Amino acid sequence: MKYLTDEPMSAHTTMRVGGCADRLIMIDTQEELTEQLAICRREGVPFVVIGRGSNLLVSDDGFRGTVICTAGGFCGIREEGPASIDAENGDGAAGSSGTSLRVSFWAEAGASLAAVAAWARDHELTGMEFAAGIPGTVGGGIRMNAGAYGGELGQVTVRVRVLTADGTVRDRTAEEMDFSYRHSVVQENGEIVLSALFALERGERGAIAARMEELAEKRRDKQPLEYPSAGSTWKRPEGSFAAKLIEEAGCKGLSVGDAQISEKHAGFLINRGQANAADIRKLMTMVEQRVLDQSGVKLTPEIEMIGSF
Ligand SMILES: Cc1cc2nc3c(=O)[nH]c(=O)nc-3n(C[C@H](O)[C@H](O)[C@H](O)COP(=O)(O)OP(=O)(O)OC[C@H]3O[C@@H](n4cnc5c(N)ncnc54)[C@H](O)[C@@H]3O)c2cc1C
């Protein structure tokens, strides 16, 4: 476990902005995570659990309290074994139907989705290819029901082990997780994801690797991966695409300081170097207003904000 004080959050977010957290604790095990959370709760210290900070905007004033970071050490992946999973009886991955023979495995909250996808490929398991290019962790990914190219974590999740507000460890079924587009129940109940049990079908390693490379190529082609960002800044509105509406509202390339709506993909708000959180927040507000005026659609941020704005 690593304990840091006055730690700049710009070093722990893919947007590369954010002031200092009073404390940042990098945990390596479930025991350390539960212990640190118990201390925060007992002492009334505000806390937030983060993964790789790839969906976060942290205030320039930082965070008054403790940030607990799972990315790094708390990243084990272990096979549970072949399982006959009966979706009809509420023990199957959301979206699956009937009974099928799958292989299931647990991944800890801090495991990167890239590592989980690579592990699945190396074990000849298909269904996780979509997640290989999502730069987050299992914990952040489950909370957001991260997804891409037609796949979502909710589709391959059987159970999620969580820590409840009273410090109890419990397993939630995929159904109880209430997965929907970029949503899971932990957004409402504040539970902390400890690990997730995924179930995948047997596949062929070469085909899995080829699909992962195809999707990586699509990302390189369409997304401004050369700049810091937090991915898609806004959720996909019903019946449309945020990037399309932003472009139609004339916001492509719009900037505040070094914060800019990417010229390559208008759904991405990028940091061209020296942007701060205030610039980013101001640009977000401008874009939301212009899109509302132009199309009548209210964009909802996908990125989550920490600290005061
Ligand atoms: C270049 C780029 C591309 C991206 N592409 C995609 C994409 O294709 N699809 C997609 O869905 N997302 C995408 N994202 C966004 C992001 O990677 C995902 O939302 C990811 O799931 C966030 O995981 P994280 O570990 O970084 O979470 P963080 O950003 O660290 O945290 C996000 C939220 O989850 C909470 N959280 C973190 N860990 C836990 C835990 N263990 N228990 C409970 N809550 C927790 C945090 O408190 C916070 O509220 C992209 C981001 C970037 C930068």
The confidence score (pLDDT) of residue 83 equals 58
pLDDT digits (tens, 9 = 90+) for 216-257: 999 999 999 999 999 999 999 999 999 999 999 999 999 999
Query: Higher confidence at residue 95 or residue 287?
Result: 287
pTM for the model: 0.94
Q: Return the CATH number of the domain spanning residue range 225-306.
A: 3.90.78.10
Which entry of 182, 184, 229, 288 is annotated as an active-site residue?
A: 182
302 catalytic, yes or no? Answer: yes
Spell out where the chain has E strands.
Answer: 2-8, 20-26, 47-50, 56-58, 63-69, 77-86, 99-108, 125-126, 147-148, 151-152, 157-163, 169-173, 192-202, 229-232, 255-256, 259-261, 268-271, 304-306
Dist CA 280 CA 256 (whole Å):
7
> What spacing in Å lies between the alpha carbon of 302 and ligand 1's midpoint?
10
Query: What is the predicted pLDDT for the residue at 80?
Result: 85
pLDDT at 95 over 80: no
Give the tens place of pLDDT for each residue, 32-46. Answer: 999 999 999 999 999
Which pLDDT does position 113 carry in this prediction?
98
For helices 205-222 and 113-122, what crossing angle results, to 10°? 150
pLDDT at 23: 98
- Indicate if 182 belongs to the active site: yes
Q: Which atom, in ligand 1's list, is nearest to the CA of 304?
A: 49
| 81-85, 102-106, 210-214, 288-292: the lowest-pLDDT one | 81-85
User: What is the domain partition of the chain in residue ranges?
Assistant: 2-69, 77-215, 225-306
- Assigned architecture for domain 2-69: 2-Layer Sandwich (3.30)
Q: Which residues line ligand 1 (CB under 6 A)?
A: 14, 48-56, 70, 109, 134-137, 139-141, 143-144, 146-148, 186, 192-193, 223, 225, 229-231, 304
Average confidence score pLDDT of the chain: 94
- What was the pLDDT predicted at 102? 87
User: How far, in Å, from the CA of 303 to the mean position of ligand 1?
Assistant: 8
**Local confidence band at 90 (pLDDT 50, 70, 90 cut-offs):** very low
15 and 57 in contact (C-beta within 8 Å)?
yes
Q: Which CATH class is domain 77-215?
A: alpha beta
pLDDT score, position 233 = 98
pLDDT of 206 over the 70 cut: yes
- Phi first, then psi, for residue 211 (nearest 5°) are -65, -40
Band of pLDDT at residue 96, cut at 50, 70 and 90: very low
Atom 49 (ligand 1) nearest CA: 304
pLDDT in tens, 100-152: 568 999 999 999 999 999 999 999 999 999 999 999 999 999 999 999 999 99
